[in-house]
Structure 1
Amino acid sequence: MKVLAFGTSNSRNSINQKLAHYAATQIDGADVTLLDIHNLEMPIYSEEREKESGIPAFAHDFYQAIGEADAIVISFAEYNGSYTAAYKNLFDWASRIDMKVYQDKPMIMLATSPGAGGAQSVLASAKASAPFFAADVKGALSLPNFFDNFDEQTGKVTDDSFNAQLDEIISTL
């Protein structure tokens, strides 16, 4: 199974990137592609830019990566209660290719943050809008207090409850 995993932060040290990678590697037999959206930065979407220059190649690359995957693991970073600007812009450009950005792929949605909220606001928003963009969400899960629940040395989540819930979601793929 080809699994595309990514965090929605463009930080080189993204905790959501680490969580997405961890979750994807828990899928038995997965061939994991870890996408770094930091490498897909492009101008902020506007109709004028689209008319003048077309859709940037990075948006096509992102859309194609989704299309080539059998499943997707996304971990949403939360900036001020919402999506990161980097991800929202990438998503907006990709939606100009096709509103069905997620192409009916089975998906695990995650979120984490250093605090107790675990980025639950953005996760709820992403989950609520997913059907409009052809996402087959198998489950959504938040990991609060990332630095207390993730071992940076081993790259593993140490929270047994989270791991049990993740295993349950993975079993539906």
Structure 2
Amino acid sequence: MAKYSLIGLSGSLRKDSANTQLLREAARLFEAQEFTLADLNLPLYDGDLESEQGVPAAVQALSDSIAKADAVLISTPEYNKGPSGVLKNALDWISRTKGKPWNDKPVAVMSAAAGRAGGERAQMVLRGFMVPFRVRILQGPEIHLADCTNQFDDNGALLGEVYPRELKALMQGLRREIER
């Protein structure tokens, strides 16, 4: 089986967030040769800052990492019916970098939230955010991890049968998308 590199973008800055755990579990199920969790702790996008100082080095490094990866995993919490500001800010900054790091890149999106819909609305909005980047976004299976704080064991593995099965199917689809 071919080995691939993945980068994960978590819409939560919390170290042990459910979205970060979901990304790690997805990478484990994918059996990625290399998995990098991106640092989205970036300055707020500010056109004046960009004009005066250019794109911050951390943003360019993130953009370069996306370009280098074989595929991207994105997981977002749901805040006020949409993705987190952290994730939107990162996407806005990346859109300002040189080159087209996202162009034709396979991307799998997922969401984890405390509510019963598991971030479904946030994920739908996120999918719209990705359109200008011209990515090859997987359409399913959709992963909306509900009651997310109770879905992982002490080792970070998903509990139950449905979520692990669906996440594995999404990762198999991502592998096929990379190979096409």
TM-score by length of 1: 0.88
Out of 147, 150, 153, the position equivalent to 2:149 is: 147
Task: Give yes or no for contact 2:26–2:168 (8 Å, CA) kept in 1.
Answer: no
Q: Which residue does the alignment assign to 1:45? A: 45
Runs of 5+ unmatched residues, structure 2 = 176-180
The residue type equivalent to 1:157 in the other structure is L
Post-superposition CA distance 1:56-95 (Å, at most 9, x none): 1111011011011001111112222222222222211110
Q: Which residue does the alignment assign to 1:22? A: 25
Identity %: 25
Q: Which residue does the alignment assign to 2:178? A: none
Q: Which residue does the alignment assign to 1:168? A: 169
Task: Give yes or no for contact 2:6–2:36 (8 Å, CA) kept in 1.
Answer: yes
Q: Distance in 1 between matches of 2:114 and 2:27?
A: 21
Task: Give yes or no for contact 1:3–1:33 (8 Å, CA) kept in 2.
Answer: yes
The 1:54–1:29 alpha-carbon spacing in structure 2 relative to 1, beyond 3 Å, is: closer
Aligned partner of residue 97 in structure 1, secondary structure: coil
Q: Which residue does the alignment assign to 2:13? A: 10
Task: Give yes or no for contact 2:64–2:101 (8 Å, CA) kept in 1.
Answer: no
Q: Distance in 1 between matches of 2:32 and 2:109?
A: 20
Q: How do residues 1-173 of structure 1 correspond to structure 2 at under 5 angstroms?
A: 1-38=4-41, 41-42=42-43, 44-97=44-97, 100-138=100-138, 139=140, 140-151=142-153, 153-172=154-173, 173=175
Aligned partner of residue 143 in structure 2, secondary structure: strand
Higher share of residues assigned strand: 1
Task: Give yes or no for contact 1:66–1:103 (8 Å, CA) kept in 2.
Answer: no
> Which range moves more in the overlay, 58-67 or 21-30?
21-30
Q: Distance in 1 between matches of 2:15 and 2:40?
A: 9
Runs of 5+ unmatched residues, structure 1 = none
Q: Distance in 2 between matches of 1:86 and 1:147?
A: 20
Task: Give yes or no for contact 1:8–1:87 (8 Å, CA) kept in 2.
Answer: yes
